[in-house]
């Protein structure tokens, strides 16, 4: 099976500092793959290098078997590799429905104007409403995006991602800043996403990681420390040692208090 995403010796250096140091990683079609590690492990830099936000200084990124290392972030997105950010990126003064409708129109390559509602095309509105319903926001369709709670804004981002018809979605700390109830709703939403949609998730909440992930890769000091099934990673002594000092290791890996 050809991986959707494959990293071969991927490196990003800031001068003499290798924040990402020769990472090999593969993500298979339909896989929910989590990327974890203690603070300073290189997770955010790796994510940005895969997305094209930062250039690789060594190694390569393959997407659907094609080398995309030299492509821009926008070109990677056009090919179906999309990422979300730790801070929501929405049109806050537009309605919830119009935010999704704009994403639908981008895929359809339909011209739009910001002085007219994006949903003015009937087919666009129908599809936008379907995506809102899938993430539980159809009741907020007419509200401005600015009126949504933090968790609801994340739900809206997922609707916009789905409207863009990606093959791989990279979620960057999706539950950061969420309440326990919001985190639970978001995890439920991810579990309901289409089985053929591949996910790569950077997440600090290990309860969410071990609930959602089929496979977990652990970064430490810019390198892969361990990779495997969640239970393998949870039991790995080297992984536990890497987390010492940031919190009680037993609490982190056994679902206890943080």
Of 68-77, 116-125, 239-248, the range with the highest mean pLDDT is: 68-77
Which residue is listed with tokens 């050809």? Answer: 2
Q: What is the pLDDT of residues 146-175, one digit of tens each?
A: 999 999 999 999 999 999 999 999 999 999
pLDDT of residue 6: 98
Higher pLDDT, residue 85 or 254: 85
The CATH number of whichever domain residue 63 belongs to comes to 3.40.50.300
Residues 245, 172 share a domain? yes
Tell me if 85 is assigned to some domain. no
pLDDT reading at 248 higher than 80: no
Whole-prediction pTM value? 0.86
- Partnered with residue 81 across adjacent β-strands are 168
Which residues 6+ apart lie within 8 Å of 69 measured at CB?
A: 56, 59, 60, 61
Residues 147, 27 share a domain? no
144, 165, 186 - which closes a domain: 165
Task: Count how many Cα atoms sit within 13 Å of the Cα of residue 7 in the half-sphere of its side chain.
Answer: 24
Domain count, the chain: 2
pLDDT of residue 258: 46
**Sign of the CA dihedral 38, 31, 158, 151?**
negative
Q: Which domain holds residue 53?
A: 1-80+166-258
Residues 159, 38 share a domain? no
């Amino acid at each position: 099976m050809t991986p959707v995403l494959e990293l071969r010796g991927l490196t990003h250096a800031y001068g003499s500092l290798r924040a990402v140091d020769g990472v090999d990683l593969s993500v298979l079609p339909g896989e929910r793959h989590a990327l974890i590690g203690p603070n300073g492990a290189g997770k955010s830099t790796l994510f940005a290098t895969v997305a094209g936000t930062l250039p690789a200084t060594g190694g390569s990124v393959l997407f659907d078997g094609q080398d995309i290392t030299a492509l821009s972030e926008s070109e990677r997105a056009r090919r179906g590799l999309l990422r979300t950010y730790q801070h929501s990126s929405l049109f806050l003064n537009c309605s919830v429905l119009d935010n999704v409708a704009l994403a639908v129109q981008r895929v359809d390559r339909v011209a739009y104007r910001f002085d007219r509602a994006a949903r003015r095309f009937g087919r666009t509105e129908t599809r936008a409403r379907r995506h809102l319903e899938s993430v539980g926001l159809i009741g907020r369709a007419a509200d401005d995006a600015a009126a949504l709670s933090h968790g609801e804004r994340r739900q809206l981002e997922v609707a916009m991602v789905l409207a863009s018809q990606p093959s791989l979605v990279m979620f960057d700390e999706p539950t950061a800043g969420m309440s326990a109830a919001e985190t639970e709703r978001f995890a439920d939403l991810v579990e309901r996403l289409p089985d053929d949609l591949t996910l790569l998730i950077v997440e600090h909440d290990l309860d969410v990681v071990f609930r959602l992930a089929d496979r977990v890769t652990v970064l430490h000091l810019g390198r892969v420390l361990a990779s495997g099934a969640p239970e393998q990673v949870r039991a790995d002594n080297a992984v536990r040692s890497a987390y010492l000092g940031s919190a009680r290791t037993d609490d982190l890996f056994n679902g206890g208090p943080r």
